[in-house]
């Protein structure tokens, strides 16, 4: 026995002894030769945290992987029965990088009995973000998501930039707006862009980053942010100047302008549109948005309806986007954007342009993000359908914006892909929509840290936390013959 034993520093535990706290060493010697050693430390605060407080701040999404559907469903139901945020925290931490072979995935929204699962052993394609543009705005958008800490912090940063640079009050716009608010293009572009930046920041905090991006119209400005060509500050400034430039374009003119969605192919739209009306957005195989003087747009819509063709006017702030009617504003916008983006920056191959035809993809304009690129996007037709069709098969496509404006178009253009919208127009619970969309991303084999939504717990969890081991259950669906060696030996003796 060494001297430290004699001094009482180390004691041989040869009987049941009350534990006084402190570090604990665990040793496991496996039958197959695998030895594992772990040192565990207790909570540093020395006491059990308030369960009521933890529940209020709990993760609102719980993820789980297993080998059987019943096993995953039962585990998630048990988590909701326990109502212990620390259990949810543990499960989410385990499933940031699920174990290979556990191809059944499931998620549950916190305090809900709803459980969704996916049993798909085939590997999914890459993850793509699609950014929508004007038309995705709605009264109340983004307001509920301010309860998500990462989203809120991002909105506050954009609000600070807008207040300092332009005395533009973003928070007031989001918290107190009506239909008339979005009749002004600056309000539309700025609020949509701020929400999209915040959604990208939130997804990034969870560890969700795209393999590729596509933007529809002004959505390409947010592509520049996701592609790390622009900072958040540059992005929100670019959106502001786009809106301000367009806000003054029709001043002093008696002419009114508008847009309409028509059920025609791109070729048909260009052929059938009367003089003065332009095919502005190629949205789908049989979906085009046209721009022009309002009276002519209304007459064209009526003519198409008489021919039993789908056609309706769409809100556009009285502007004929992506047409020669806004060309006079291009020089002013270019000058303003050159102050925001003084130096071009190389675009990555993961950004599919929807404003430059594929035949011109080798051009200098296409290779960099610059003020010229954004002005070209401002003037040129939107080739969204062509861009989406370039997305690889079986990809997961996330529509990032205030609503799922483009989800139907995406599903038709990329039928093998899984299209998920982060938000819904006029949603009654935008946070629930967002959490549900994250759950569907998990089912689509996108791994992320669900705990990053709100740190309601931390390691080590309280000593009172139920063990998560019982949540992993045995699969008894298959019977196996196992020899009982004791009986075999007895039979041999006889």
User: How far is the C-alpha of 355 from the C-alpha of 8, rounded, in Å?
Assistant: 78
SS3 at position 414: coil
3-state secondary structure of 289: strand
> Residue 2: which residues within 8 A CB-CB, separation 6 or more?
10
Task: Find the helix or strand (DSSP H, E) in which 78 lies.
Answer: helix 69-82
- pLDDT at site 14: 83
**Beta strand 257-262 pairing with 311-314:** antiparallel
Residue 108 phi, psi dihedral angles, 5° rounding: -135, 140
How far, in Å, CA of 174 to CA of 182, rounded? 11
Output the six-digit token pair for 234.
Answer: 């540059």
Q: What is the pLDDT of residue 47?
A: 39
pLDDT tens across the length of the chain (494 residues): 555 555 666 777 788 888 777 788 888 887 777 788 888 777 655 434 444 444 444 457 999 999 999 999 999 999 988 888 889 899 999 999 888 889 999 999 876 778 999 998 888 899 999 999 999 999 999 999 999 999 999 999 999 999 999 999 999 999 999 989 999 999 999 999 999 999 999 999 999 999 999 999 999 999 999 999 999 999 999 999 999 999 988 776 778 999 999 999 999 999 999 999 999 999 999 999 999 999 999 999 999 999 999 999 999 999 999 999 999 999 999 999 999 999 999 999 999 999 999 999 988 999 999 999 999 999 999 999 999 999 999 999 999 999 999 999 999 999 999 999 999 999 999 999 999 999 999 999 999 999 998 766 778 888 788 999 999 888 888 887 877 766 555 555 55
* pTM recorded for the entire structure: 0.89
d(CA 320, CA 414): 28
Per-residue confidence (pLDDT) for residue 103, from 0 to 100: 92
In this structure, what token pair is assigned to residue 381? 């037709």
In 6-137, where do the E strands start and end?
24-29, 35-40, 61-66, 104-109, 115-119, 127-131
Give the C-alpha separation, 318 to 144, whole Å. Answer: 29
Compute φ and ψ for 396, nearest 5 degrees: -100, 120
Token code pair at residue 128? 């793509």
Q: What pLDDT does residue 56 have?
A: 45
């Amino acid at each position: 026995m060494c001297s430290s034993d004699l001094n009482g520093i180390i004691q041989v535990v040869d009987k049941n002894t009350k534990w006084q706290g402190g570090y604990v060493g665990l040793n496991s010697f496996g039958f197959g030769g695998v030895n594992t050693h772990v040192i565990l430390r207790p909570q540093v605060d020395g006491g059990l945290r308030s369960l009521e407080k933890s529940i209020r701040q709990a993760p609102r999404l719980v993820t789980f992987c297993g080998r059987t559907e019943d096993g995953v469903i039962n585990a998630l139901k048990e988590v909701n029965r326990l109502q212990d945020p620390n259990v949810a925290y543990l499960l989410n931490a385990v499933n940031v990088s699920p174990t290979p072979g556990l191809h059944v995935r499931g998620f549950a929204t916190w305090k809900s009995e709803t459980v969704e699962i996916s049993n798909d052993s085939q590997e999914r394609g890459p993850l793509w973000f699609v950014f929508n543009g004007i038309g995705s705005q709605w009264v109340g958008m983004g307001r509920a998501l301010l309860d998500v800490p990462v989203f809120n912090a991002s909105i506050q940063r954009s609000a600070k930039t807008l207040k300092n640079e332009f005395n533009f009050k973003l928070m007031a716009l989001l918290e107190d707006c009506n239909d008339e608010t979005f009749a002004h293009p600056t309000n539309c572009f700025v609020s949509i862009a701020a929400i999209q930046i915040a959604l990208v920041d939130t997804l990034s905090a969870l560890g969700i980053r795209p393999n590729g991006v596509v933007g529809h119209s002004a959505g390409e400005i947010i592509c520049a942010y996701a592609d790390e060509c622009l900072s958040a500050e540059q992005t929100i400034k670019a959106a502001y100047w786009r809106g301000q430039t367009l806000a003054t374009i029709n001043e002093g003119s008696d002419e009114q302008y508008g847009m309409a969605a028509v059920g025609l192919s791109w070729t048909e739209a260009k052929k059938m549109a009367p003089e003065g009306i332009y095919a502005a957005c190629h949205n789908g195989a049989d979906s085009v948005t046209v721009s022009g003087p309002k009276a002519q747009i209304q007459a064209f819509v009526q003519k198409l309806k008489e021919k039993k063709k789908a056609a309706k006017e769409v809100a556009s702030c009285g502007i004929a986007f992506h047409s020669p009617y806004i060309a006079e504003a291009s020089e002013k916008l270019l000058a303003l954007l050159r102050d925001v983006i003084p130096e071009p920056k190389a675009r990555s191959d993961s950004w599919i342009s929807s404003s430059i035809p594929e035949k011109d993809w080798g051009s200098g304009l296409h290779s960099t993000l610059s003020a010229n690129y954004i002005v070209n996007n401002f003037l040129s037709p939107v080739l969204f359908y062509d861009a989406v069709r370039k997305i690889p098969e079986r990809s997961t496509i996330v529509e990032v914006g205030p609503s799922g404006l483009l989800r139907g178009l995406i599903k038709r253009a990329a039928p093998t892909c899984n299209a998920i919208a982060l938000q819904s127009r006029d949603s009654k619970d935008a946070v629930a929509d967002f959490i549900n969309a994250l759950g569907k991303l998990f089912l689509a084999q996108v791994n992320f840290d669900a705990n990053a939504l709100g740190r309601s717990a931390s390691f080590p969890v309280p000593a009172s936390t139920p063990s998560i081991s019982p949540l992993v259950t045995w699969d008894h669906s298959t019977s196996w013959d196992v020899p009982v060696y004791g009986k075999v030996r007895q039979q041999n003796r006889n």
